[in-house]
C-alpha cells in the first residue's frame, strides 16, 4: 500500500512534473491529439441533395473567408480566428490558401502550411468549421493531391474540416474539372471517408448548371457539394435562376465565396441584390461565406489597413462591407424569439 502523502506536500512535485512535460519552446508537435470542441452541427453530410448535421437535420452555415494567405498572412492567427467565431458568430471560416501568386503555396509551401495549420487547429480547438481552400484558378493536380493527402490524413477524423479542392476554375471545361475532382476526391477518401468536399465549376464557379447535368457519380459523389460564388452587384437574377435549376436537379450547392460588390471585389455595394440572394439562400436552407478578411483599399476588404491583426475589431477598424457582414452574422445567430400566438380576429384570420 502506498503511503498517504498530504496534497500540500505533493503539489510542488506535481507542478514540477508538469513543467518538465511542457514541450520546449518552438517544439512543434503537429500529430499530438488536439483538445477538440464539437462544431455546431457535429459531423456534416449530404442527404438527398441538402447539407445536414449529425442529427440528420438541415445545417445552415454562415461565416467569412480570410483573404489570400500569401497577401494577408497577418490575419491567420489564433486570436483573429477566435474573434471571428466568438464575436462575429461565424459557424465557419474559410482559409484561402493562395497557390499561384508569388508567396503562394507553389513557391513558398512552408508559409502556406503554417497559415493552414493555425487555421485548422484553431477551428478544432474552438468548435467551428474550417474550409481548407485550394485558392487557385488553374489546375495543379500533382501538388493538390499531395496537399489534400496530407491534411486529410492529419485532420480528416475531425468533423471541423471541409475541403475546397479548386477555388475558381477559369479556363478549364467541366469535363476537365470533373476528372480533376474525381482524382482529388479519391485521394481524400483514401484517408477520410466522410468529411465534405467542395467542387468548383468553370467560369469562377458560375457554370454549376453543367455539373447539375453531369455530376460526379459512384463512390466519388458522397458528401460532395458544388460551389456557387457570386458578387451581387454583377451577378443577379440569371445566376439565381441557375441556382434554382441546379437545386431542382438535386445538385447539392454550397456558397463558399460571395459578396455584395462587383466581381472585381471593388466598386459599388448593391444591397438590394444581396438581399435577393439572401432570400433565395434562406428559402432553400443554405448559408453563405463572405469574402474577405483583408485590409486593402477596396470594397471587398472588411478591415482597414490600420486594423489590428488579432481583433476584436470595432466599427472604426472595419470598412463598410465588414460592418455589414459582422452585423448580419450576429443577427443570424440571435436565438429565435418565441412568438406569442395572436388571437384570431376577422382582420388577421
Active site residues: 168, 257
Residue 222 lies near Mg ion (rule: CB under 5 A)? no
Least distance from Mg ion to the Cβ atom of residue 161, Å: 8
Shorter beta-carbon distance to Mg ion: residue 196 or 246: 196
Per CB under 5 A, contacts with Mg ion among 177-196 are: 192, 194-195
Number of residues that bind Mg ion (CB under 5 A): 4
Q: Give residue for cell 468548383.
A: 200
Phi and psi angles of residue 246, each rounded to the nearest 5 degrees, phi first: -65, -40
Distance CA(256)–CA(292), nearest Å, equals 11
Least distance from Mg ion to the Cβ atom of residue 152, Å: 8
Per CB under 5 A, contacts with Mg ion among 286-325 are: none
Among positive and negative, which fits the CA dihedral 105, 108, 109, 113? Answer: negative
Shorter beta-carbon distance to Mg ion: residue 182 or 192: 192
Element spanning 239, H or E: helix 237-248
Q: Residue 91: which of 48, 62, 56 has the closest Cα? A: 62
Element spanning 330, H or E: helix 320-332
Distance CA(161)–CA(201), nearest Å, equals 21
Per CB under 5 A, contacts with Mg ion among 121-160 are: 156
Q: Is 225 helix (H, G, I), strand (E, B) or coil?
A: strand
Least distance from Mg ion to the Cβ atom of residue 155, Å: 9
Element spanning 274, H or E: helix 271-283
Shorter beta-carbon distance to Mg ion: residue 189 or 240: 189
Least distance from Mg ion to the Cβ atom of residue 271, Å: 38
Q: Give residue for cell 466598386.
A: 267
Shorter beta-carbon distance to Mg ion: residue 122 or 195: 195
Q: Which residues bind Mg ion (CB under 5 A)?
A: 156, 192, 194-195
Amino acid at each position: 500500500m502506498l503511503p498517504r502523502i498530504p496534497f500540500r506536500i505533493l503539489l510542488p512535485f506535481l507542478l514540477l512534473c508538469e513543467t518538465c512535460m511542457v514541450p520546449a519552446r518552438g517544439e512543434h508537435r503537429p500529430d499530438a491529439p488536439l483538445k477538440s470542441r464539437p462544431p455546431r452541427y457535429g459531423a456534416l453530410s449530404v442527404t438527398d441533395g441538402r447539407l445536414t448535421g449529425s442529427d440528420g437535420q438541415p445545417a445552415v452555415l454562415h461565416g467569412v473567408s480570410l483573404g489570400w494567405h500569401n497577401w494577408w498572412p497577418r490575419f491567420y492567427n489564433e486570436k483573429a480566428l477566435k474573434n471571428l467565431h466568438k464575436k462575429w458568430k461565424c459557424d465557419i471560416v474559410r482559409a484561402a490558401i493562395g497557390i499561384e501568386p508569388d508567396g503562394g503555396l507553389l513557391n513558398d509551401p512552408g508559409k502556406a502550411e503554417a497559415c493552414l495549420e493555425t487555421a485548422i487547429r484553431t477551428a478544432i480547438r474552438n468548435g467551428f468549421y474550417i474550409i481548407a481552400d485550394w485558392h487557385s484558378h488553374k489546375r495543379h493536380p500533382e501538388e493538390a493531391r499531395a496537399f489534400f493527402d496530407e491534411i486529410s490524413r492529419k485532420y480528416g477524423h475531425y468533423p471541423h474540416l471541409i475541403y475546397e479542392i479548386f477555388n475558381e476554375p477559369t479556363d478549364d471545361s467541366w469535363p476537365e474539372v470533373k476528372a480533376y475532382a474525381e482524382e482529388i476526391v479519391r485521394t481524400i477518401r483514401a484517408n477520410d471517408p466522410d468529411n465534405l468536399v467542395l467542387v468548383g465549376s468553370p467560369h469562377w464557379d458560375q457554370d454549376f448548371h453543367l455539373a447539375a447535368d453531369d455530376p460526379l457519380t459512384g463512390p466519388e459523389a458522397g458528401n460532395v457539394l458544388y460551389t456557387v460564388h457570386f458578387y451581387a452587384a454583377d451577378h443577379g437574377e440569371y445566376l439565381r435562376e441557375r441556382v434554382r435549376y441546379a437545386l431542382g436537379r438535386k445538385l447539392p450547392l454550397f456558397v463558399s465565396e460571395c459578396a455584395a460588390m462587383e466581381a472585381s471585389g471593388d466598386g459599388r455595394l448593391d444591397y438590394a441584390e444581396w438581399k435577393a440572394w439572401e432570400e433565395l439562400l434562406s428559402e432553400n436552407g443554405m448559408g453563405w461565406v463572405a469574402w474577405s478578411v483583408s485590409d486593402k483599399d477596396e470594397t471587398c476588404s472588411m478591415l482597414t489597413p490600420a486594423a489590428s491583426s488579432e481583433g476584436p475589431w470595432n466599427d472604426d477598424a472595419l470598412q463598410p462591407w465588414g460592418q455589414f457582414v459582422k452585423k448580419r452574422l450576429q443577427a443570424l445567430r440571435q436565438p429565435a424569439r418565441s412568438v406569442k400566438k395572436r388571437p384570431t380576429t376577422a382582420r388577421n384570420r
